[in-house]
A and B are shown apart, each in its own frame.
Chain A
Amino acid sequence: MVDKKVITELSEIVGEEYISTKQDVLLAYSSSASMASDPIIPGAVVRPTNAEQVSRIIQVAAKYDIPVTPRSGGSSLQEEVIPKLDGLVVELMRLDEIELHKELRSVTVGAGVTYGVLEKFLKEHDVFLPVYPESALVCTVAGNVAVNGAGPGSSKFGCTGELVLGVEVVLPDGQIITTGSEANPYAPGPYQRYAFGPDITGLFIGSLGGFGIITKVSMKVFKRHMFYDYNTFGFETHEQAERFMVDIKQNDINGVFTSLYEGPVLELFMDMIGEELGIPKYEWPFRTVSMTIGRVREDMMKSDAELAKKLCEKNGGHVIGISELPYSEWTGRLWFFVRACYIHGWHWRTLYHHQTPTNAHRSVEEIRDVMEKYGFLGHTAGFASGHSSFNAYPHLYFDPQDPEDEQKIRDAHKELAKTLFKTGAVPFKLAPYWADAIEGMDSYMAFLELVKKTIDSRGIMNPRVLGGL
């Protein structure tokens, strides 16, 4: 329970309507989209409307040593917004401003703006924020910066963090700072992230609210691609497919979304949603690369498409030529993945991570091993996620009405995090799922702890993340 005196102070900031200690409301904030997670009931929830209110809330929380969990879309899958018992949840969905800086090719959005909302807005201006998390209709841009997510678009543009020009953050003492070029009060807007020395913006990317609450983010936007090529490429060995993925990058082919699927995994997906999306039936090979090439000019697109076919054959593959799969992935990017994730009845735990493209098969092997050992259904697939990385998204399925099954997945999940770590994989962020998996990083973790203690000496900011530092 949060003390009544504290509730009164918080009410004075946000107004009585926007604070709740009702049991049902607290219960609804005890969980998120993360599955097989123990719900934890907070003491109160507040819904501020701007950074100034967030600042005053944090000052009250600091005064009374109340742990604070920032939350926006509530779509995170790795327990990032599960609160502390009796803590305070600061829900940011009311921060919904959008400001386009067309000449600067950037946009600034409040922490409550989802990708779906922003996409509609940007489309009217013929630009786009080219990386979309799979939960784009629910997830906020600021939330995705806080977790440094990836998704369709990442194969060309990298993780969300790569697109950030600056952030507005409320620090644990209530101070509000703006990073990047906007730190200069005379700057015309966000145009350069690397300003005034160290990359302070980067400190908050993937920080999960452990250093402060992001209230605004400024992002790069790009002219929308007008010309696309959609194609699929088949390979009989993982080496062939992985080398092809590297060649695509080496030759500057603009694969905005380049997915790599194991044959049986693609069969599973197609069984679920193939017909619905109009994807023809096909006996998918050992490995399939599904690629959307996007360009602002047609000649560039055609050139890329031709070269991709040659590189496929050079690596021993064959052009499958089914365009409907990449077409659905890209044009339906706000829907395709969410549908694939929820059309079946299973609950699942995930363990998003990056590999190198030539190590993608190691993630497949590790999840297969753990599936065999524990005896459950699951899969992993992934996509090129930047300069030289590959994002894998393993799903471990369980029946939520069977506690033994759920426990099995929790155990398998824990083990998988450890084995994946040893393949050289890295998580996007230090969410609770990864806390037990990392080893041999003592100096790094000690430094991270120093940073945390320096910024958040009371340890009130989302204490469950960053390995519980």
Chain B
Amino acid sequence: MTEVDLDELMENLAQCRRCGICRNAVYEDKGFDGVCPVWKNSAGFETSFMRGRIQVALALLEGRLEKTAENAESLYTCTLCGNCTSICAAEFDPAKCLESVRQVLREIPNEVRDTLAKKILENNNPYVEENRTRRYWVREVGFDIPSTGEVLYFTGCTAGLKLPETAKATAKVLKAAGVNFAVLEEEPCCGSVMLRTGMVDEAKRNAEKALEMIAKSGAKTIVVTCAGCLKTFREDYIERFGFDMPKVLHMIEYLKPLIESGKLKLKKSDEIQQITWHDPCHLGRALGVYEEPREILKAIPGVELVEMETNREAAMCCGSGGGLRSYDQEQAKKIAADRMHDAEEIHADILATACPFCEHNLKDGAIRIDSSIRVVDILDLIAEQLE
């Protein structure tokens, strides 16, 4: 199902009665210390949080506002983190609606969005022309990884091309757990960013290609280290595109029973470290995976898990989602810096996460505030603690 039912969308948008709870609600009972990361870290006009965005969306859809890139700007300065959905008192999902609005209003020019989609369709990734380079990390793990097998590690564009250490760490951990796994020869993009920015037809074309390659690999289980890939495969490929997908798990879901059963043994950390967990929006709010990573971190001997003020359903976003990092890098980094402040407040030594977008952006946020907190993917941590 790739077409948006416009009547249903308008009915959903009408659920917003402009109460404004999606701006900066501070409500300890539900864990909220603010809601919208963009409002908090921008000039803060009404259009910087969901109430205003919905008013703009309605006006554009109803023709009360001219469909120009400038007028539609607020539709794209949202990370789609879904914190507004978590606190919304009405029965609708504002973030999901905004994603649909982007799809319906895709006629409005947006160079960043179009360039991203074009690159993915042409190169199978949004970053480089030579997509085969995304498998170069395999050469450095010290053992062969086949391209077919029952367990497929889908690396994702960002881990493959920008943060290969996470990919290498994942391979090391899987091997240590005795798992035979494969990595595609020339893995395509999952298409998450296309979906989030409203390029659904292009995303479907890309997804068909990805599905074919996955099918050829013989995978019965796909493991991922990217929260965006997870949501896209587990939700969008099945619900939107109607694909018959193998079982898809994030590595933290896959590893938890292996650690609990003792198949994967973790050694004691050299010194006691305070680690905080940043919930990636696609993993937490979108798919409800909150406890598995925490259980894994607690299972590392010598690690003390400390929580940031906002966590789980009310966790503040890292700032990179929904295409914001591409659309307004400066804004995305400001939000990341703010999230790093949260970690600083609780004196964490390490901030761990399970999404390369979060990791990449939060690292920039740490630089911005001169934070000495180590930002790391949980797989890197696990790999370091292998016995």
Residues on A lying within 8 angstroms of B by beta carbon are 17-18, 20, 22-25, 27-29, 31-33, 35, 45, 47, 73-75, 91, 93-94, 114, 116-117, 119-120, 123, 135, 137-138, 331-332, 334-335, 338-339, 341-345, 347, 400-401
Contacts and interface: CB of A to CB of B under 8 A. Distances in A.
Contact of B45 (A47, A116, A342, A347): A47
Interface stretch (B67-75, B129-137, B263-271, B312-320): B67-75
Given A22-B70, A345-B15, A332 B47 contact: no
B73 to A, nearest CB: 7
Given A343-B89, A345-B15, 16 more contacts: A22-B47, A22-B70, A23-B66, A24-B74, A25-B45, A28-B52, A31-B18, A33-B18, A45-B46, A47-B44, A119-B26, A123-B28, A137-B27, A338-B89, A341-B89, A342-B88
A28 B89 contact: no
Nearest to A347: B17
Residue picked from B17, B33, B73, most chain A C-beta under 10 Å = B17
Contacts of A343: 89-91
Interface in B312-348: none
B20 A35 contact: no
Contact of B56 (A27, A75, A93): A27
Contact of A27 (B27, B59, B89): B59
A91 B59 CA distance: 22
Contact of B21 (A31, A138, A400): A138
Interface string B19-57: 111011111111001000000000111110001100110
B interface majority secondary structure = loop
Given A24-B47, A93-B44, A33 B65 contact: no
Contacts of B72: 24
B20 A138 contact: yes
B53 to A, nearest CB: 8
Contacts of B259: none
B20 A401 contact: no
B46 A28 contact: yes
B14 interface: yes
B387 interface: no
B18 A32 contact: yes
17 contacts: A23-B70, A24-B73, A28-B55, A35-B18, A114-B26, A116-B26, A116-B27, A117-B26, A120-B26, A138-B19, A138-B23, A331-B29, A332-B29, A335-B29, A338-B21, A339-B89, A343-B91
B11 interface: yes
Contacts of A114: 24-26
A413 B19 CA distance: 20
B18 A47 contact: no
B56 A342 contact: no
A116 to B, nearest CB: 4
Nearest to A346: B17
A137 B89 CA distance: 11
A137 B21 CA distance: 6
Contact of A117 (B24, B45, B51, B88): B24
B45 A401 contact: no
A466 B29 CA distance: 38
B138 interface: no
B245 interface: no
Contacts of B15: 342, 345
Contact of A335 (B26, B27, B55, B70): B27
Nearest to B15: A345
Contact of A73 (B17, B20, B27, B33): B20
B178 to A, nearest CB: 46
Contacts of A135: 19-20
A400 B88 CA distance: 19
Contacts of B51: 28, 74
Contacts of B24: 93, 114, 116-117
A84 B3 CA distance: 40
B10 interface: yes
Given A23-B65, A27-B55, A94-B44, A342 B28 contact: no
Contact of B26 (A22, A29, A137, A332): A137
Contacts of A338: 19, 21, 89
Given A23-B65, A335-B30, A345-B91, A137 B18 contact: no
A326 B152 CA distance: 54
Sort A-B residue pairs by CB-CB distance and give the 4 closest, nearest first: A28-B46, A28-B52, A137-B25, A342-B89
A29 B46 contact: yes
A32 B89 CA distance: 17
Contacts of B30: 335
B19 to A, nearest CB: 5
A18 B17 CA distance: 26
B55 A33 contact: no
Given A32-B18, A33-B19, A138 B43 contact: no
A94 B59 CA distance: 27
Nearest to A14: B43
Given A74-B46, A116-B27, A401 B11 contact: yes
Residue picked from B19, B47, B51, B65, most chain A C-beta under 10 Å = B19
A35 B20 CA distance: 13
A274 to B, nearest CB: 16
B19 A342 contact: yes
Nearest to B72: A24
A257 B25 CA distance: 23
A436 to B, nearest CB: 24
A420 B311 CA distance: 47
Nearest to A340: B89
A28 B11 contact: no
Interface string B177-221: 000000000000000000000000000000000000000000000
B62 to A, nearest CB: 11
Interface string B78-96: 0000000000111100000
Contacts of B66: 23
Contacts of A400: 14
Contacts of A123: 28
Contacts of B19: 33, 75, 135, 138, 338, 341-342
Nearest to B59: A27
Contacts of B43: 17-18, 20, 47
A423 to B, nearest CB: 28
A265 to B, nearest CB: 19
Residue picked from B10, B15, B21, B23, most chain A C-beta under 10 Å = B21
B90 A28 contact: no
Contacts of A20: 43, 45
A114 B26 CA distance: 8
Residue picked from A25, A47, A401, most chain B C-beta under 10 Å = A25
Contacts of A91: 45-46
A401 B55 contact: no
A117 to B, nearest CB: 5
Contacts of B26: 114, 116-117, 119-120, 137
A173 to B, nearest CB: 28
Nearest to A139: B20
A28 B27 contact: no
